[in-house]
Structure 1
Amino acid sequence: MAENYDVIIIGSGPGGYVAAVRAGQLGLKTAIVEREHLGGICLNWGCIPTKALLRSAEILDHSNHLKDYGLVLEGKVSADVKAVVARSRGVSARLNSGVGFLMKKNKVDVIWGEAKITKPGEIVVSKSSKPVVEPQHPLPKNIKSQEGTYTAKHIIIATGARPRALPGIEPDGKLIWTYFEALKPDVMPKSLIVMGSGAIGIEFASFYLSMGVDVTVVEVLPTIMPVEDAEVTAIARKQLEKRGMKIFTSAKVAKVEKGAGSITAHVETADGKIRQITADRMISAVGVQGNIENLGLETLGVKTDRGCVVIDGYGKTNVPGIYAIGDVAGPPMLAHKAEHEGVVCVEKLAGLPNVHPTDKGKVPGCTYCQPQVASVGLTEARAKELGRDIRVGRFSFAANGKAIALGEDQGLCKVIFDKKTGELLGAHMVGAEVTELIHGFVVAMNLETTEEELMHTIFPHPTVSESMKEAVLDAYGRVLNA
């Protein structure tokens, strides 16, 4: 006889495990099905380990510019690649075990295997085809069971996404990497091509550049980090190129040729010419696609679009009792969006009052390259496309005392307001620690704050955050320090 639950969640990434925790808090009998490792891609192969790598890169960068701070160190600081990677994997393992603890604490059963929805309210779990391969990621101790049939009133799909591959330029794990291989290089390549300049591509490009690698980025669109405000990405590009990165925009990799230990990319540039670029390795960072296969969705008639499950603001699909959250449910494919969707979905199906649907327009985005980039809401170009009458404010970090003291005065804070109502429509930042600052604008937008409240908010001095208020003042002709 099948074991019955209130909620079964397929996938234990940020969306899945957070949804499971919230369901457990609400007293729902909950199980989560995982086939490989708790925490999903973000914790094990994405957000967390990449930030550990980038932290090592940041310290290395600072160490090699100590004279700028009046400090002297004999000799040049170098990187121990194996130690850098080991630290990154250790950070991931620590958080992986933490997810297992959270499942146990909130009385969530962990079912190890691969799930398929056979009909609304029923899943069959088979043995995983992807067993855990890393010793630091042991199977959780609170496994309820493995193979078998399980039933639940509510089934939440949180299976995440995987790297997208271009025909003829498929990653092979040797010469052409995805982020999986890029996270664990056996040896540091001397040269690298990065195909794609979204957050994943630029973060890896920045990391390897700091490690002393000759890095070339190829982007098919006119700007790097295409979803960001063009003015911000122009500043980021200038700084990345100043560090030595070579960037080609409005260009595409037409084909590749593989050698014994190198790869040659035939890059078609905007003028129609073909440039051949040879490097030790290439990273394919051309986006991700949802893991919707082998779940039984087609048989059930669950609606999908461009490789993702179609949902409403509460995670509901077109089939009653089946929900989807996170990357598998479409962009923006960000861990914090997945977490929020998970909480909203569970609270709504549990019948809690006043549950608000997820507003994707208020999901912040962060890119942890050097310099950092962060944003929320509409870009200036998008606001104009929508016909909004806007005010735009800017404040350069070159006029911010803390940024100057940090030796990181190349940055910008840019804000966009509705001219008639004072509504904050968007905020865009590039520079030191802006990924830690953007939440201020996110909170402001969520509280429907206008320019007046922001102008009357006292920001601490000296901080880089003062540039946020100055940008607001600038939008209304009241900037004080520029």
Structure 2
Amino acid sequence: MRHHDLIVLGAGSGNSVIDDSFSGSDVAIVTEGPFGGTCLNYGCIPSKMLAHTAEVADEVRGAGTFDLDAELRGVHWRKIRDRVFGRVDDQRDSGEQGRRDSDFITVYTGQARFTGPRSLRIEGAAGPIDVEADQVVIAAGARPVVPPPVEKSGLPYDTSETVMRIDEPPHHLAVLGGGYIAAELAQVFAALGSEITIVEQADRLLGPQDEAIADAFTRLAGERFTLRLGRELTRLEGEPGALRLVLDDGSVVTADRLLVASGRVPNGDRLDLPAAGIDTHDDGRIRVDAHQRTTVDGVFALGDVCTPVQLKHVANREAEVVQHNLRHPADLRSADHDVVPAAVFTRPQIATVGKTEQSCRNEGIDYVVGTRRYADVAYGWALEDDTGFCKVIAERGSGRLLGAHIMGPQAPSLIQPLVLAMTLGIDAPTLASAPYWIHPALTEVVENALRDLTR
């Protein structure tokens, strides 16, 4: 059995744990998928490159709003796709080659399963390899959930891991699910010419968002897509290129392509965790303490395989914590998940941090709300935006910021002052009045929402 000082399972955020401070150690990376993980290969990065391309296409189509005579004369999908993935794949390949060229890192390609607390069997193309280590980091990520009616049908379908690399955009794309992945990819293909039908079990899209955001986005999405809300897929029929989605009310959605975007499941179930004695939550996430340590001594976990917040910036923060804790066991750090922002790069863009208004009600919190529309500030006029808004929530009396929710252009950037304030404990009145806010920048929508709240 080959012995290493450290084994990292996963080449996404887990790969960033290893820096030059480990150069005196014998390190191994085990990966079944490509280097860079979900984010680089079929997640955050390519989807946002495509989302921006879609935004440009929509801006051209909407140029008449600004009294400009412009026309979108064509969409060259294969060129778009190849531009995006040419860059992504180069980063993936160079990252892997750099690790393989290292004099202190061994790269194993294959599926790893635990055979003991810190021992594993790797099933690769060259046959099984048994390895062990003094320390192990589990960063095996997550994968798309595929509902039984789709899986059992035997018919082709796409997930976020495949749909961005297809050869031609579909004429009619059916999207199963109403979360952020569904919203982003529906927007991409709609802007590039596809007809979109979204099938979602809930009564509105982006259900976990603040109710004001979810309601407004659902209304706007309904103007662009066909929405089948409150409906469940019971059967997938037809043939490749001519699919029939039979819903629970007996209605049928026909499409030439199906995108399954109904959630993601941690990959811990593929690692034979019981053989190592590693405990999991009921939803399959690996149990970790505040320092990212599992229930087995010397074994850490980070990212989607364990975190309650499946976001790349969370995985990156946890990787920093694990990196430090591996090297400094007497000075452990922890990852704080109290103030975690998130964004949806659809049209309109959405950003959120902290509590929603419905969660404040459910928890019995005495709160106040401040709201300001993009149309109420000068740069909102420049954008001719009549749907965007900023909503902030604070504790009554103290002014402590509890949450913020923005829908509209630049939302992921506009949320950041509010994230900073919540992280550093700056209350709403102080944030509204102490710093200068540039006029007439779009940040005034945040300032004025804060002032509305403090009134």
Establish whether TM, by shorter chain, passes 0.5.
yes
Q: 1:103 to 1:453 in 2, by over 3 A?
A: farther
**Cα shift readout 1:11-56 (whole Å, capped 9, x = no counterpart):** 011x21222238649x765432223311011100111111111111
Structure-2 residue corresponding to 1:414: 391
Letter in 1 for 2:4: N
Residue 68 (structure 1) aligned with residue 68 (structure 2) = no
Q: Mean alpha-carbon deviation: is it higher for 101-110 or for 201-210?
A: 101-110
Q: 1:460 to 1:128 in 2, by over 3 A?
A: farther
| Structure 1 CA distance for aligned equivalents of residues 422 and 97 of structure 2 | 34
Residue 476 (structure 1) aligned with residue 422 (structure 2) = no
Q: Equivalent residues in 2 for 1:129-148 (5 A)? A: 148=129
Residue 198 (structure 1) aligned with residue 168 (structure 2) = no
User: Shift in Å at residue 436 of structure 1?
Assistant: 2.1
The counterpart of 2:215, out of the listed 234, 239, 252, is: 234
Residue 464 (structure 1) aligned with residue 445 (structure 2) = no
| Structure 2 CA distance for aligned equivalents of residues 462 and 247 of structure 1 | 37
| Structure 1 CA distance for aligned equivalents of residues 212 and 84 of structure 2 | 33
Could you tell me whether the CA contact under 8 Å between 1:392 and 1:475 is conserved in 2?
yes
The counterpart of 1:17, out of the listed 1, 15, 18, is: 15
Q: Equivalent residues in 2 for 1:59-138 (5 A)? A: 59-73=56-70, 76-97=72-93, 99-100=95-96, 103=99, 109-114=105-110, 115-127=112-124
| Structure 2 CA distance for aligned equivalents of residues 459 and 347 of structure 1 | 37
Q: Equivalent residues in 2 for 1:185-334 (5 A)? A: 185-242=166-223, 244-268=224-248, 273-305=249-281, 306-334=283-311
Could you tell me whether the CA contact under 8 Å between 1:48 and 1:91 is conserved in 2?
no
Letter in 1 for 2:285: C
Letter in 2 for 1:152: A
| Structure 1 CA distance for aligned equivalents of residues 317 and 209 of structure 2 | 22
Could you tell me whether the CA contact under 8 Å between 1:412 and 1:429 is conserved in 2?
yes
User: Shift in Å at residue 125 of structure 1?
Assistant: 3.5
| Structure 1 CA distance for aligned equivalents of residues 155 and 397 of structure 2 | 56
User: Shift in Å at residue 308 of structure 1?
Assistant: 1.9
| Structure 2 CA distance for aligned equivalents of residues 378 and 264 of structure 1 | 39
| Structure 2 CA distance for aligned equivalents of residues 39 and 459 of structure 1 | 38
Could you tell me whether the CA contact under 8 Å between 1:21 and 1:102 is conserved in 2?
no
| Structure 1 CA distance for aligned equivalents of residues 252 and 381 of structure 2 | 41
| Structure 1 CA distance for aligned equivalents of residues 104 and 400 of structure 2 | 42
**Cα shift readout 1:212-254 (whole Å, capped 9, x = no counterpart):** 2111111112221111111012222222233x21223222122
| Structure 1 CA distance for aligned equivalents of residues 152 and 37 of structure 2 | 21
| Structure 1 CA distance for aligned equivalents of residues 358 and 22 of structure 2 | 43
Q: 1:98 to 1:429 in 2, by over 3 A?
A: farther
| Structure 2 CA distance for aligned equivalents of residues 61 and 151 of structure 1 | 53
Structure-2 residue corresponding to 1:8: 7
Structure-2 residue corresponding to 1:156: 137
Letter in 2 for 1:159: A
Letter in 2 for 1:21: D
Q: 1:352 to 1:178 in 2, by over 3 A?
A: same
Residue identity (%):
28
| Structure 1 segments unaligned to the other structure (5+ residues) | 130-145, 478-482
Could you tell me whether the CA contact under 8 Å between 2:279 and 2:294 is conserved in 1?
yes
User: Shift in Å at residue 103 of structure 1?
Assistant: 4.8
Q: 1:170 to 1:147 in 2, by over 3 A?
A: closer
Could you tell me whether the CA contact under 8 Å between 2:156 and 2:240 is conserved in 1?
no
Letter in 2 for 1:10: L
Q: 1:110 to 1:396 in 2, by over 3 A?
A: farther
User: Shift in Å at residue 205 of structure 1?
Assistant: 0.9
Could you tell me whether the CA contact under 8 Å between 1:414 and 1:471 is conserved in 2?
yes
State the Cα RMSD in Å. Answer: 2.6
| Structure 2 CA distance for aligned equivalents of residues 188 and 127 of structure 1 | 34
**Cα shift readout 1:380-439 (whole Å, capped 9, x = no counterpart):** 100111111111111111112223213334211111111133221111111001112222
* Partner-residue secondary structure (3-state), 1:387: coil
**Cα shift readout 1:338-397 (whole Å, capped 9, x = no counterpart):** 111111122233327775532323121111110011111110100111111111111111
Q: 1:171 to 1:116 in 2, by over 3 A?
A: same
Residue 48 (structure 1) aligned with residue 45 (structure 2) = yes
Q: 1:24 to 1:472 in 2, by over 3 A?
A: farther
| Structure 2 CA distance for aligned equivalents of residues 278 and 97 of structure 1 | 39
User: Shift in Å at residue 101 of structure 1?
Assistant: 7.4
Could you tell me whether the CA contact under 8 Å between 2:114 and 2:121 is conserved in 1?
yes
| Structure 2 CA distance for aligned equivalents of residues 406 and 457 of structure 1 | 25
User: Number of residues paired by the alignment?
Assistant: 452
| Structure 2 segments unaligned to the other structure (5+ residues) | none
TM-score by length of 2: 0.91
User: Shift in Å at residue 69 of structure 1?
Assistant: 2.6
Could you tell me whether the CA contact under 8 Å between 2:117 and 2:277 is conserved in 1?
no
* Partner-residue secondary structure (3-state), 2:415: helix
* Partner-residue secondary structure (3-state), 1:61: helix
**Cα shift readout 1:69-122 (whole Å, capped 9, x = no counterpart):** 33334x542211111111121231243246347758997614122333332333
Q: 1:267 to 1:12 in 2, by over 3 A?
A: same
